[in-house]
Structures are given as C-alpha cells and as structure tokens.
Amino acid sequence: MFDVRRGELTRTILMALYLMFVLFSYYILKNVSRAMFLNKFDVNKLPWLWILMAAIGGFIAYFYSRFAVKSSLTHAVAWTTALSVGSLLIIWWVLRFNFWWMLYVFNIWVSLFSIVLVSQGWLVAANVFNSREAKRLYGILGLGAIIGAGFGSYFTRVTVELVGTDNLLFVAALLVVLSYLAFRGVAARTEMPLATARAAKEPPPAFMFQDILTALGRYRHLQAIAAIIVITYMLEVTVDFQFSQVAKAAYPDKERLTAFLGSFSLWMVMVEFLLQFFLTPLMLSRIGVGGTLQIPAVTVGLASLATFWWPSLFSTGAARLTEESTRYTFHRTSMELLYLPLPAELKNRTKVFLDIFGDRLARGLGGLLLILLTSVLRFEVRYIALVALAMCLIGLVLTTKARREYVETVRRRLAMRRLDLEEIRISVQDKSTVTLLEQTVLSPSPRQAAYALSLLAEIQGYSLEPLLQKLAASSAPDLRAQVYEVARRSTYGELLDQALAEIRSARPGESSPSVKPAVAYALSVTPEDTDLASRLLEHPCPLVAEGVLEALAQRPDFAHALITREWLAGASTDPRPERRRLAAIAIGVRGSEDPGTLRRLLDDSDLRVAQAACRAAGVLKNRDYLEALIQRLADARLRSAAIDALASYGAGITGALSDLLVDERAPMASRRQAPRVLRLIPEQRSVDALLAALALPSLVIRSAVLRALNRLREVAPQLDYKAESLTQHILDDVRYYYRLSAALAPFRAHKNLKSATGLLAHTLEERLKHTLERLFRLLGLRYPPAEMHAAYLAVHHGGVQEYSTAIEFLDNILERDLKRFLLPLLDASGNFERGLEIFGIEAQTPEAAIRDLIGSDDTWLVACAMAAAAELGFRALIPEIRQASRNASDEVGAVGHAAVATLT
Amino acid sequence: MAELNIVEKVIALEAVELLKNLTPDQLSRIASIAREVKYPPGKTILDPNQSLDALYVIVDGAVEITRNGQVVLVARQYDVLGSWALFDDEPIAVTAKTVEDTQLLRIARDDFFDLLSDNMEIAASIFSTLVKRFRKLVEQQA
C-alpha cells in the first residue's frame, strides 16, 4: 500500500509518531477547551471568542514565523515543547480559581497550539523528506496524524468522566513530551541536520496590503482563491455555532459535554480518514479540482437544508461533520492544487498572506456576522442554517469560476513551461490538469511536449507506457531525449529497439540531445549491458561513448571492469582531442591508478579536454590534483570548471585556499578567485579563512572576500561570523573613510578630469564609494543582510525620504559603539566633522594630503598623487616621490620619474 | 613627444565614451594594455576596405576623417577613432588619416577581451554604458 524504501522506514515511523503525539494532544485540548467554554458561557459568546482568536492568532502566527526564520528547527521544536508543557501546567493551575477570562485565554492558547505545533510538525517533515520521498511517504505521515486525532478524541471520551475535564491537561502535556522524544529520534536519523535547518522555510515575505490588493486586482485566479477561502471559513464558524448551540442544550454537564465532543471528534476523524485515503484521489481523477471543491458546498448545503426543516443535534451534527471532514480533505487538497499554476513568487507571497490572515479574517468576519444574526436579529438555529445554505450557494458559484480560471492558468503556464509539479508535495491527480498535459504532450512544440511529459511522469500511478511508445517515434530529438529519460526512470523496457536504432544512426560530430539519454536507457534495460557498453565505448560518435561513461558513473564496479587501464592509456594519449576528453571523463568515473594521466589531461592544450579533466579531478577529490586546479583559476577559460572542481573537495581544502589568498607571490588572477571557491563551501572553516583575509591590504582581494562572505551569510546564516572581529574591521574601514575624506577635501573643486589632480580627486571619490559599500557589506554580516542592503541602496542612491528612513533604521539597529562612529559618516547635516574629531583626523593642505597619499600602500593612489604633485609644482615632495618610485612597480615608477623630471 | 606614463594614459582614456563608467582603477588596467603609437602625417589609421581590430585615442596631433573623399571632421586630442572596433570587426565607411605628427593610444581587441575575461566588473560597466546608449536610442526613436 505504501512505497517505503530502504533506509526510510525508521525515519518515517518516527516522523509519523511525532505527528501522532502532537495531534493526540491537540484533539484532547480542542475538545476540553470547547466543552469548558460552552459549559461556562452562553453560546452567544462563541463569536466573540472566534473574533479574538482571529485577531490574536494572526499576530502571533506572523511574529512566530519571523522568530522561526532566525532560529534553527531543533531549537524551535525544543522551545515550543518546553513552552507548551509549561503553559499547560500553568493553565491547569489557574483554571482551579475559576476566573472567567481564563477560559478565553485557554481557548485562544489551544488555537495557537494548533498553529505552531501542528504546522511545525509538517515543517519538520518537509526537511526530513525531499519532494519525491514526500509524494510516497506523506500518506503514512497523514495516517499517523489521523490516528493521533482519533486516539485523542477516543481517549477524551473514555477518560473524561474518570479523571475530570481539567486533569486531561496533564495527559496532553505528557503527549507533547512524547512527541519531542519522537522528534529527537527523527533528528538523529535524518541526513539533513535539522539543527541547521530554519524553523521557517523563508522569512515571511514583506507583504504589504497594497501589494496583495494589486495582485488580487490583477489575477482573477487569485481572486477566486481568496473568495473561496473567505466563504469557506465564514461557513465553518456558522456551522460550528449551530452545532455548539444544540450540543450545549443537549449536554448541560461539563464532563458529559466533553465526552460527547470527544465521541463526535472520533467520528469526524474516521470520516476524514476514509475521505482522504479513498475518496479524495478518486474524486480528483474523476471530476477534477473544480468538481472536488464543490463537494463541501453541496454536502454542507444539504445538511443545512435538513437543519432548516428539522433543527436537531443530528442535523447540526451532520452539517458539522460534513463541513469539517470535507474541508480537511477535498477542500484542502484541491486548494493546494489551485495555487499550483500561479507564478512561484506570487504564490509564495500571497499564500503566506492568505494562510496567516485569510482564514482568520474570514473567521473574524463570520464571528461578526453571527453576532449580527444572534444578538441583533435574534435568529434561531434553523434561520442561521438558511444563511449557511446561502453561503454554500455562493461557494458553488465561486468554485465554478475557480475551476475555469484554474484550467486557463494551467494552460498558460504550460505554454510558458513554468509549471512545476515536482515542487509540490502532494500527488497531482486532477483530471483537468492531466488532460491538459496529455494534450500538450501531443502538441507540435517539441519543447513544450517534453516538458509536459516530464510533468506527467511526476504524477503517481499515471500509466505512461502508451505515450512513451508513441513519442519514441517523434522526429524531435528533444522530445525523444525526454522519452528515454522517463522510460529509464520508470524502468519501462519496451523501447530498446528504438534506442539502439538511435545509437546506430549517430555519426561522428553528432550533437543530438537524444543520443546520450538513448545510451543510458539502453544500458539500463538490456540484459547484455556489459557487451553493449564495451561496444558503445568504441563507437565512432564520441557522444555515444560519453553517454556510456555517464551511465557507468552510477555503477562503479561495472565501470572498473569495463574501463581498463589499457583503454585509459590509449584514449588519454590519442591524438584526437575527443578521445582524450573521453579519457578525462572516464577517470572521473572509475579513478586512475596513475595520477600523472589526469595531470597531463589538466594541462591539455585543448580547452574541452582540460575542462573535462577539471571536472574529473573534482569528482575524485584527490589532493594530487589540487595544485593543478588552483593554477587553472588564473585561466579565464578554465576558471569556471576549476572553481566547481575545487568546491567539490569541500572543507578539506580551505587551508590551501587560505594560503593562496594570503600568498602575495601567487598570481592575483588566482588569488582573487579563491573566495569564489570558498563561498561554495558553506562550512565554518570557509568563513574563518575569509574573515582572516579581510585584513589583507589588497582592495581587490578584500572586495572578493566580502562578496563571498555575504553570499555565505545568505546560504549559511547559522555559521559564526565572529561579531567582534567584524566590529574591528568596520571601525578600521570607518577610520579609512574619514582619512580619505580628509585627503579629498582640498581637491573637491578639481573637476577637470583631464588633469592629474582631477584624476586624483576622482580616484578618491571612487575609493570613498567603495569603502561605503564595503562597510555595508560588513554590516550585512552582523545584522540582517537584506535590510542592510536596502539601507545601503537608500544611502547610496535613494531620495531624501529614503535616506532619512535608512539613517533612522541604522540608528535603531546598530549597537552603540558602531553608531557613534558610523552615523556621523553618513549624516549629511554637518556631523561629519564630529567623526573626524573622534578619530583625531585634521584638515589638510593640498601638499600635506598628497604627501600622505604618496606614502600610502595604495599603488594607484600613489601614482595619481605623484602625478598631481608634479602638476601642482610641489617641489618639496621630490624626496617622497623618489622614495615611493624606488619601491614601486615599473608602471608606477615611471610616473614618479616623470614627476621628478617635471619638478626639477 | 615623451613616452606616456600610466596616469597620462588613464587621463586620455577617460575621454572615451565607451569607458566613461569605469573607475580610475579599472581604467588603469585598460591603460596597461594600451600601447602608444606614433605616426607621421599621411598615415592611414582607418580604411573602409579593412576590418577593424583596435580602438585609437588621439593623445596628441590631428587626424582627418573623410567619407567618399569629403572631409567630415578633423579629430584632435582625446578624440576616439573606431570605438566600436572593440566589439565588431566590420569596417566603417570612413577613412582616417593623420595630418600631422600624431601620438595615439592603441587598444587591440584581443588584449581587451583577455582583460575583460579577468575583470568581470569592467565588462559589467561597459555593458551598462552600452545599454544606456541603446536605451537612449530607443527613446529617441519612440
């Protein structure tokens, strides 16, 4: 029934247990808190509770997601567990005093429990399983969650009259602790360390209501989604209200009401289980997203009609049962699919907004409507049922519209090849999507057809064979390539003849994209793979042999037997570069007993051979090739391959790269590439090596180092960026900025670029700009990078308003010491002089400024300063110019000699 | 005419429209590949029948530009000849001939590309200038 593969079983069971315990606990708390509330208050207070839940829940959810993005998942789970258990014990204790407000607090707390712990459980699952595993295994996790919900409901029913409603809070607390133990088990067995995963995938996008309204105005599909969400959750509270009113009347005793709600939840969970596992996939494949979305509206509408005719616990219970069970099954799955065709950026932004605020806003609106209906209009249950019926009719209209928009949007996205089924973690079985994909596969555009075929291959249980047979005869190589790829992955063996024909027709110089997939496919399905592979390795078309080698990369033993030393020796010394390139690829696949072979290929005069050799060295990670790869960094044509290869060595070579960075005898072209390699190795040792290089005098190296550190901070924020040492670098750069400003002051009026003095002024201005950029890059390593980047743009390019906002922001966020030095530097209102005073830098005459610059270690500034000294006739500087010329390169020395000649 | 040092070359290169977004440091790297050439009067620098392989900046002297035998202009200090040559080797439909002793900076296309391959930020600045120029043209057409 479930496709659990080797190595996944323990992880999956523990993850399912984790979710089970969380849901077990939640279903106890949900029933207990509701029963206590209804027992204490009139049912008319329920809408007020929902409004409070909507308001407070929305804020807490938003702020939790902001906290979560900064915290690791392990920490977040530990903290929420500790807080949950602590809160439950406190709530249990305070409830004994019968404060009326405590029941509001308790119910709101339970709604937060569901927001935080349940969604956190699914986030852990998203980090434990990749999207392909998720499609196979989420069913088991869902089963665990449903069993947990069922246990919670059943346990509440059978134990409440024995232990009392209040004491069930202890059990809930114990279950939260058990869920944490299961989480620890998952964390210990997962490949991706959860300690480094974020507790929220992304920071909540900086959505503004204006942006969301603009998006809603622009996309009709989004309008339909938003309208369905609003009507669904308004209907939920309306139906829940009717049910609660009738249930309270039927069970005036607290324990009996709790037991009844527990029994009812149990029924609900069982129905949800049946619907989710058996009916939802069936309905989606039969009647599509639109039809499935209409089921809740139709069933709740019928139950509401029954309530109107015969208001009773049975009819309101039926409405509640159908509403919640279809919302958690048909509605939820269909809504996930409904988002699918939206552009990713828009989807992320609006989905987060609608998830955080949409349903709560709708519940709040529902609460307001119920206050109007019950407290103002004094409607009885049967008339409220009529309002619910009207909502169902509106829901039907909206889902019809949504279906139309969905199909249109999928069609458009498909045409643009922007539909990603792999990203979503549920299996797409929607009828209209599948039909559209099938039509696109047969369309005249080969690229669209190949894309649609790859999407169809993602759909679980879809029979691809007839399509593959048909498309293997396509005249489009792109499409045939996809056919072989899909057939290989699905182990469909009936295309061997077509694949062999494709290989036979390949000629030397062939570049068809279908050749290599045909080779990989043929080798994966033929029983005579050894014989076929050895024959194809000698095929006159190099692409075929390359396809063999790539296929062998997945089967190392086979590769060793097939690629012999003799073959390697022959190919690596072959006069034809194509054969030498194959030799390089083969070494990457099976290794080489003689490191000299790959070293020779790394030195090959043919670019493609040397590139393949770089890649092979990266695969083997043999330190014998390290020096050669580092040397290749200086060659622009091989640089990209060398960087990738070095990065694949991982943290073990950070020492060598650190040595390269500080080695002043190494070519600058190589040194400045070292940070590009280090930034691809997100380890603490990379950060340490880069931070050490920040003290180097070369501005070019420092810029490259900072860019690398900024990138690392983005991808690995959990690493330690040594705040104290950063503060020192920031202060050094602030001091440098003031010194440059003081040097520039006497020359600000020199705007003539065709003079040496003008060039000096221009150079100093550029240095100031770069120093400012460097400062903000450093700040981006200590404070939130995106916000620092925005502040930099506002300071550097922004208008008056943006500038003031940025200064105010920095004033709030920077720590006192940094603020004291940095803000005067940015302040345009005359505080700059205060900064100069702080560092003891005095105003300079032009001659003194040039003297200082000639004595600096900035080569280009020295050259400009010497030329400017000559132009301005500063004869007193001749000794400094002579001294600087002696220590300088030929080019700068020539400037010094010319300056001395002019001045004497 | 004395040999130009690197600062003087940079001052000359600052006049080149295509390079105007570059910082003095970046210009100094171009200056290091710019070769100084000196021609007597009457030397043809651009020929409509020959493909271009270098850009020239006049440092001193004068160059007469003619089209179909008609003088279009006389280029002088810091004027640029063949600025598109760095990206396109198609001949241009003018003749450029020195009219007096002339000192020029010559930037060969191959050297320029080698430099760009190691200095991505220079390439980015030049792209930026080209895009601005293209945008201006489009706006003029609109």
Residues A282-320: pLDDT tens digits? Answer: 887 788 778 888 999 999 999 999 999 999 999 999 999
Distance separating alpha carbons of residues A318 and A326, to the nearest angstrom? 12
Per-residue pLDDT tens digits for A199-229:
554 444 444 566 777 778 888 888 888 899 9
Q: What confidence score (pLDDT) does residue A69 get?
A: 59
Per-residue pLDDT tens digits for A709-725:
999 998 888 899 998 88
Name the residue in chain B with its Cα closest to that of A703: B121
Of A412-416, A605-609, A645-649, B61-65, the range with the lowest mean pLDDT is A412-416
B87 touches chain A (CB under 8 A): no
- State the average pLDDT over residues B44-48: 90
- State the average pLDDT over residues A602-616: 94
Using a CB-CB distance cutoff of 8 angstroms, which residues of chain B are in contact with residue A860?
24-25, 28
A207 or A560, which is more confident? A560
Please check the confidence at residue A425 and state whether its pLDDT lies above 60: no
Q: How many C-beta atoms lie closer than 10 Å to residue A531's C-beta? A: 10
Q: What confidence score (pLDDT) does residue A244 get?
A: 93
Cβ partners under 8 Å of residue A137, min gap 6:
A2, A4, A8, A12, A129
Name the residue in chain A with its Cα closest to that of B32: A891
Q: How far is A5 from chain B (nearest CA, A)?
A: 47
Residue A555 backbone phi and psi in degrees, to 5? -130, 80
B contact test, residue of A700, A753, A850 with most B CBs within 10 A: A753
| A705: nearest Cα among A687, A683, A723, A719 | A687
Please check the confidence at residue A336 and state whether its pLDDT lies above 80: no
Distance separating alpha carbons of residues A165 and A170, to the nearest angstrom? 10
Q: What is the DSSP letter of A374?
A: I
Distance separating alpha carbons of residues A160 and A260, to the nearest angstrom? 10
The SS3 call for residue B34 is coil
* Three-state SS annotation for A483-520: HHHHHHHCCCCCCHHHHHHHHHCCCCCCCCCCHHHHHH
Residue A198 backbone phi and psi in degrees, to 5? -80, 150
Say if the Cβ atoms of B25 and A860 lie within 8 Å. yes
Say if the Cβ atoms of B7 and A763 lie within 8 Å. no
- Against a cut of 0.80, is the pTM above it? no
A70 or A29, which is more confident? A29
Beta strands (DSSP E) in A664-706 are none
Q: Is A378 left (phi over 0), alpha (psi -120 to 50) or beta?
A: left
Per-residue pLDDT tens digits for A173-191:
999 999 999 999 888 877 5
Q: What confidence score (pLDDT) does residue A418 get?
A: 63
Q: How confident is the model at residue A2 (pLDDT cuts 50, 70, 90)?
A: low
Name the residue in chain A with its Cα closest to that of B12: A754
Q: What confidence score (pLDDT) does residue A193 get?
A: 53
- State the average pLDDT over residues A367-382: 91
Residues A702, A704, A705, A711: what is their CA dihedral angle, to the nearest 10 degrees?
Answer: 140
Q: Which two tokens stand for residue A842?
A: 């005095």
Is the Cβ–Cβ distance between A464 and A492 less than 8 Å?
yes
User: Among all chains, which residue has been given the structure tokens 């959990």?
Assistant: A718
Distance separating alpha carbons of residues A867 and A759, to the nearest angstrom? 9
Please check the confidence at residue A102 and state whether its pLDDT lies above 60: yes
Say if the Cβ atoms of B24 and A891 lie within 8 Å. no
The SS3 call for residue A538 is coil
Of A410-424, A760-774, A799-813, B87-101, the range with the lowest mean pLDDT is A410-424
CA A857, A863, A867: angle at the middle one, nearest 5? 140
Say if the Cβ atoms of A863 and B28 lie within 8 Å. yes
User: Is the alpha carbon torsion for A252, A257, A258, A259 positive or negative?
Assistant: positive
Q: How confident is the model at residue A113 (pLDDT cuts 50, 70, 90)?
A: confident
Cβ partners under 8 Å of residue A189, min gap 6:
A10, A11, A14
Cβ partners under 8 Å of residue B66, min gap 6:
B72, B94, B95, B97
Using a CB-CB distance cutoff of 8 angstroms, which residues of chain A are in contact with residue B79?
none
Q: What confidence score (pLDDT) does residue A58 get?
A: 75
In DSSP terms, A72 is beta-bridged to: A198
Distance separating alpha carbons of residues B1 and B60, to the nearest angstrom? 9
Per-residue pLDDT tens digits for A693-708:
998 988 889 999 999 9
Distance separating alpha carbons of residues A342 and A350, to the nearest angstrom? 10
Q: Is A180 left (phi over 0), alpha (psi -120 to 50) or beta?
A: alpha
Distance separating alpha carbons of residues A346 and A216, to the nearest angstrom? 10
Query: For chain B, give me the number of helices (H) and strands (E)?
Result: 4, 8
Please check the confidence at residue A728 and state whether its pLDDT lies above 70: yes
Say if the Cβ atoms of B14 and A753 lie within 8 Å. yes
Per-residue pLDDT tens digits for A826-863:
876 656 677 777 778 887 899 999 999 999 988 999 99
Say if the Cβ atoms of A894 and B3 lie within 8 Å. yes
Q: What is the mean pLDDT of chain A?
A: 86
Distance separating alpha carbons of residues A701 and A651, to the nearest angstrom? 21
Q: Which two tokens stand for residue A513?
A: 């994209």
User: Least CB-CB distance to A864: which of B3, B7, B117?
Assistant: B7
Pairing of strands B54-60, B63-67: unpaired
- For chain B, the first-to-last Cα distance in angstroms comes to 48
Q: How far is B105 from chain A (nearest CA, A)?
A: 15
Q: Which residues of A242-278 are buried (b: 16+ CB within 10 A; e: fewer)?
A: bbbbbbbeebeebbebbbbbbbbbbebbebbbebbee
Please check the confidence at residue A59 and state whether its pLDDT lies above 80: no
Using a CB-CB distance cutoff of 8 angstroms, which residues of chain B are in contact with residue A866?
7
Please check the confidence at residue A487 and state whether its pLDDT lies above 90: yes
Per-residue pLDDT tens digits for B6-34:
999 999 898 788 888 899 999 999 999 99
Please check the confidence at residue A811 and state whether its pLDDT lies above 90: no
Q: What confidence score (pLDDT) does residue A196 get?
A: 54
Please check the confidence at residue B142 and state whether its pLDDT lies above 70: no
Residue A393 backbone phi and psi in degrees, to 5? -65, -40
Q: What confidence score (pLDDT) does residue B68 get?
A: 87
Q: What confidence score (pLDDT) does residue A345 get?
A: 67
Q: How far is A897 from chain B (nearest CA, A)?
A: 9
Of A337-341, A370-374, A434-438, A439-443, the range with the lowest mean pLDDT is A337-341
- State the average pLDDT over residues A733-740: 90
Q: How far is A202 from chain B (nearest CA, A)?
A: 31
Q: What confidence score (pLDDT) does residue A828 get?
A: 61
Q: At what angle are helices A577-590 and A595-602 packed, to 10 degrees? A: 130
Distance separating alpha carbons of residues A632 and A616, to the nearest angstrom? 14
B2 touches chain A (CB under 8 A): yes
